[in-house]
Each structure stands twice: as structure tokens, then as C-alpha cells.
Structure 1
Amino acid sequence: MSDDPYSVLGVAKDSSDAEIKKAYRKIAKECHPDLKPGDAEAEAKFKAAAAAYDLLKDPETRKRYDNGEIDASGQERPQQQYYRDYAEAAGNPYRGHSTEQDDMSDIFAEFMRGRGGYGQRTQEFHAPGHNLNYSLQISFLDAVFGASQKLTLPDGNRIEVKIPAGITTGQTIRLRGKGAPGYGEGPTGDALVTISVADHPVFDRQGDDIHITLPISIDEAVLGGKVPAPTIDGGVNVSVPAGTSSGKTLRLRGKGVKKRGASERGDQLIELTVTMPDKVDDELKQFMETWRETHSYDPRKGMPS
């Protein structure tokens, strides 16, 4: 499977945001693990599509990928120019050279000689290491409940990233001392991990609340009753009032995301939508024709014609 996010989603590089979103949702509906449990191939395809969509849905991230600033996983390309730029900003007399010296001690030795004059004793130099920036995509539920994930660094080493519950896309986790090493006795820099949260095919987060759309049948809408509904904690049964129309919203208190700095959680909002059967048979058609003769009503009363 290609790593290129456009290829993963099966879209052209100049596709619109709407086309990219449509392609992702198609794959999600076909391959989500909740819909195809145990299908490793479908799960792998879904995960790849989720990662690709997460990278391309943000215009800034998409632009940076197209410009080659980040790779398909969203991680920064190696910052090869850092030490040269640092020396240039400090007044290095050798700025403008396009080649990097392998031995960093030589660079700073030249820097100090340039400031102190030829033949003077080189001063000892200490500088903190620079921060390293990374991107990490996590699942919707890991963002809600918190988790621990491994982040692979460019050198192949892996570091553990503890995800706090309730984190959102764009927030950054600082891993102190996990950046570039300092020069001399300078401290090591930090790793800054920017989080992106993958979309979920069922749940939609709005602040601390979770929203879902729940289809109900005609008889459930007319007669009411208990119907099963998913939550981030697992399945529950909810009470649908008799005579329910599409758009009615049920609230499950405390079934949302944990609020920051508090013990309580948000709510889950369930928007009901009345769904017709796949096929309207003769019996249902005849019943509705008879019913309409004696019970007709105008649901659009009061609207302009």
C-alpha cells in the first residue's frame, strides 16, 4: 500500500476538500473495524485512509506536505540547516557557505574565533539543544479517554507519549529532554508532539459533548419504545417517545468527554432520524393509503408556498 495520502484515498493531488472528505468517508463506511470485525485487511485500509485524511483535511498541513516540509506520516523533514542558521544569526563570518561541516565543534570554534580575532584563545561555548517537532495521529477514542503511544523518531528510536484524556487536534505535548542534544554543557532540547485526532464514523465531538445520528424505523417513531444506541462507553438502550419526528434529540448526561480540570463529563446528544424500509411493500402502501383518507395532515403548514 502506498504511503502517499492522495493514493491511499484514491484522489488526485488537485482534488477539492469536499472530494477528499467524500473519498475518506467511503472507505470508512466500507472498512471500519466496527463494521468488519476481524478483517485485518479492511482494518489496515481504514487506518491508512484515516491517517491520509487527517493529513490532507487541514489546509496548512496539506500545503506543507505538498511542499515537502513533512512526510506522509506528518513528521517534520530533518532540519539540516539549524546549526548553520544559528551561526549566521550570531554573526558568523563564514555565513553564506552552503556546505554543512560534520564536526559541530569545528563550527563553534570558528564562530568564537570570528568574534575574538585570529590567534586568541577559543572561548568555551555552551548552548541548549533545539526542540524537535513531530506530529502524531491518535484514534478518536484514545483522544477521549487518554492513552499511551510510541512515537518513532527519525533515527529509529522510539519514545513513549502519554496522551491526556480529552486532548484535541492541534494541541501539543512537550517531552522534556527528548530533543536535540545541547552543545558543551548546554541542556538537551525538548520534543514537541502536535496531536491530530482521527475522525470516527459514528461519533462526532463538539466541545465536551458527543453527538451521533441514530436511525429509527417508522414503527419505532410512531409507537415509541426502547432502541439500542452506541456510546463511547458501550451500547445502551434509549427511550424513544411515541410520535417522534426526525430531528428530535435525546440527551444522555455524563456520557461525553471528561471536562478539563474537572471530574464530570459532558453529555451525549442523540439526534433521531426516521428511516424508511428498503422496500415499501403492498401491505404498507395499502395501509397508508387508507390511513391518509381519514387522517391526512399538513406538516408544512405555515411555510411560504
Structure 2
Amino acid sequence: MAEDLYEILGVSRGATEAEIRAAFRKAAKANHPDVNPNNVAAAERFKKITAANDILSDPEKRRQYDAGEIDAKGDLRRPQWSRAAGARGGYSARGFEGRPGATGFDDFSFTDIFSDVFGSGGGRRTSPSYAPRGQDLRYSLEVDFLEAVLGAKKRVTLPDGGVLDLAVPEGVMDGQTLRLKGKGTMGAPGSEPGDALIEIKVRPHPDFKREGDDILLELPITIDEAVLGGRVEVPTPTGRVQLNVPKGTSSGKTFRLKGKGVRGRSGLHGDQLVTVKIVLPQDIDDSLSYFFSEWRQKHAYDPGRK
């Protein structure tokens, strides 16, 4: 007896899409070949988990599975018939139940059966034309922040030990799914193979953050750079650039570096937003203390505190 797909993922039949997604991620992570090298049992479990998720994460496939229209492999179930099937429905020696004019066994043939099941389009067929395509396979791939921004070449290890070479496109977002056409399981003879669906997980960067197509950066500057102004180096995904800090710049001031953000779907790049933060020296010596005490007596001001 085929295993129940819900049992494979460890969820109930009434599970929500979010619960199915969470269960798949947890099970796939625990049984992934990269985590369990040379573990045949884990690789087999990973294949079953992936195949179960392929059906249950697709609303239409899940409906078909729950209704018994497809099996656990995603293949269409064939109708059962016998000469004594009249009381159970289906086909009998007295004709196909529910079909007007079918009065005897010789009144229909296997071409009629397939026409009723798959749709005749107004004509008779000598054989069924339906051939289920292969199943899609789902994987998860972690990439660094800069790899997501700039694009990269990556390799995905498959449960059977094979590999997929993947071009991560420039500007890919966390949670985005990439489709590799024809890299899923093989379908029935004469049908197309399934696809490989790669969900991208972007690791956070210690300095950069992404907001849409813009990149955010907090830049520490010295007190003298804030007071006197000057040119400071700013890191960007493509290298360091010079930023002109005007005289009298306060903490929280944000500067925009045009075109230094992420390349969006339109083909245009966002900007990099640099917010400066004044950082005092670790040691405040006597000369600095004396200078500011003298300065405060003559130039005290209200910064707008409430």
C-alpha cells in the first residue's frame, strides 16, 4: 500500500498551506544530503518528502489527491471495471452506467472508455493521449547577501548524489523561487519531465541591509569629520567609494549614492542610502575635555531636546 503523503510530511489532512510549508522545510533540512552525506536512508526520506510536498503544496494537485483522482506519485488513477461491476458503478455487461444508449458489452470498446475518462473532443481515439509529466522537485539554496545582489554560480546537491549547476540572477530576493526547466523527475513516455524549483534563502550581511532595490548602510564617522567635514570611504557591494561629508553634519543624516543599490526587474539599479553616526573616541583626554568646556561656555546651544 502506498504511503500517505500527509503522514510522510507529518501533518494532518486539514493542514494549512503554511503548516505544510513549515513541515516540509523542517523535514527537508533534517534529511538533506548535504547534512547527511553518504546516508542512503536519509536520501530516500528526502526524496519522499520532496515528492509529497510537490503534490500537497500545489492546491490543484492536493485537491486531486484528496479526491482520489491521482495517486501518491501524482499519476492519474485508471478507472476499475468488471462484468459484475454494475452494483458498484463503472462498467458492466449491460453497458456503461449513466451512458444513454449503451445496451450491451459490444456497444463500447476501450477507446470509448478512454474517451469518457480523458475527453473525446467529438471523435474516437485508438489510444489515450494523456501522459502525465514528471513531478517538480523542490530544493532550498542559501546564498550570501552579496551573491544575491551581484549574482553568482552555485551548485545544488540532489538526493541521489547528482548536482545541478545554477546561475543565481543578479538581484534575486530572499524567498524567491527559481525554476530550472526539465530538471525534475522523468514523466511517462512521450511526456515532459518536471522542473526543479529552487527557493533562495539570503544570509544577512553584517553591514548592508536591503529595502526593495535600495541598500541601507550605517556609517560611523569621527567627531572631527562631523564638525569639520571631509571625504570618507564608504563600502558598497561593488567596492569602496568616496563620500563628501559636509561641515557640521549631525548623526542620523542620510546621504544617497545613486545607482549603488540592487538591480531590479526593470533593469535599473536602486540607490545606496548611507546614514552617518558620530562615534566619539574611546578615551576622552584632558585636552579634548578642556577644549569643549571652554567652547560650551561661549557657544552653548539647544539641540531641540524635549
TM-score interval for Structure 1 and Structure 2 normalised by the shorter chain = 0.5 to 0.7
Q: Could you tell me how far 1:91 is from its partner in structure 2?
A: 5.4
2:269 is matched with 265
Q: Could you tell me how far 1:240 is from its partner in structure 2?
A: 0.6
Change (3 A) 1:169 1:66: closer
Post-superposition CA distance 1:2-32 (Å, at most 9, x none): xxxxxxxxxxxxxxxxxxxxxxxxxxxxxxx
1:201 is the counterpart of 2:160: no
1:64 is the counterpart of 2:69: no
Superposition pairs for residues 207-286 of structure 1, below 5 Å?
A: 207-262=212-267, 264-286=268-290
The 10-residue stretch of structure 1 (126-135 or 61-70) with the greater mean CA deviation from structure 2: 61-70
Contact preservation (8 Å) 1:65, 1:71 = no
Contact preservation (8 Å) 1:246, 1:274 = yes
1:298 is the counterpart of 2:302: yes
Match of 2:184, as an amino acid?
G
Superposition pairs for residues 1-305 of structure 1, below 5 Å?
A: 63-64=22-23, 68=27, 70-71=29-30, 77-79=46-48, 82=52, 89-90=67-68, 112=78, 115-117=80-82, 126-262=131-267, 264-301=268-305, 303=306
Distance in 1 (CA, whole Å) between partners of 2:67 and 2:232 is: 66
Q: Could you tell me how far 1:71 is from its partner in structure 2?
A: 3.0
Distance in 2 (CA, whole Å) between partners of 1:203 and 1:108 is: 47
Q: Could you tell me how far 1:183 is from its partner in structure 2?
A: 2.6
Post-superposition CA distance 1:11-61 (Å, at most 9, x none): xxxxxxxxxxxxxxxxxxxxxxxxxxxxxxxxxxxxxxxxxxxxxxxx979
Gaps of 5+ in 2: 1-17, 35-44, 56-61, 85-108, 115-126
Secondary structure at 2:227 match in 1: helix
Change (3 A) 1:280 1:162: same
Secondary structure at 1:269 match in 2: strand
Q: Could you tell me how far 1:67 is from its partner in structure 2?
A: 5.2
Larger gyration radius, structure 1 or structure 2 = 2
Distance in 2 (CA, whole Å) between partners of 1:282 and 1:61 is: 64
Match of 1:78, as an amino acid?
K
Change (3 A) 1:298 1:177: same
Contact preservation (8 Å) 2:170, 2:263 = yes
Post-superposition CA distance 1:239-280 (Å, at most 9, x none): 111111100111111111112132x31111110000010111
Change (3 A) 1:117 1:149: farther
Contact preservation (8 Å) 2:75, 2:132 = no
Distance in 2 (CA, whole Å) between partners of 1:117 and 1:108 is: 22
Distance in 2 (CA, whole Å) between partners of 1:78 and 1:258 is: 35
Change (3 A) 1:163 1:60: farther
Q: Could you tell me how far 1:295 is from its partner in structure 2?
A: 1.1
The CA RMSD measured in Å over matched residues stands at: 3.6
Distance in 2 (CA, whole Å) between partners of 1:168 and 1:74 is: 25
The 10-residue stretch of structure 1 (281-290 or 209-218) with the greater mean CA deviation from structure 2: 281-290
Contact preservation (8 Å) 1:203, 1:210 = yes
Post-superposition CA distance 1:212-249 (Å, at most 9, x none): 00000010110001111111111111111111110011
- Identity among equivalent positions (%) equals 40
Give the aligned length.
229
Q: Could you tell me how far 1:69 is from its partner in structure 2?
A: 5.0
Consecutive aligned runs of 4 or more in structure 1 exceeding 6 Å deviation: 59-62, 72-76, 85-88, 118-125
Contact preservation (8 Å) 1:65, 1:72 = no
The 10-residue stretch of structure 1 (289-298 or 68-77) with the greater mean CA deviation from structure 2: 68-77
Contact preservation (8 Å) 2:33, 2:157 = no
Match of 2:303, as an amino acid?
P
Secondary structure at 2:293 match in 1: helix
Match of 1:273, as an amino acid?
K
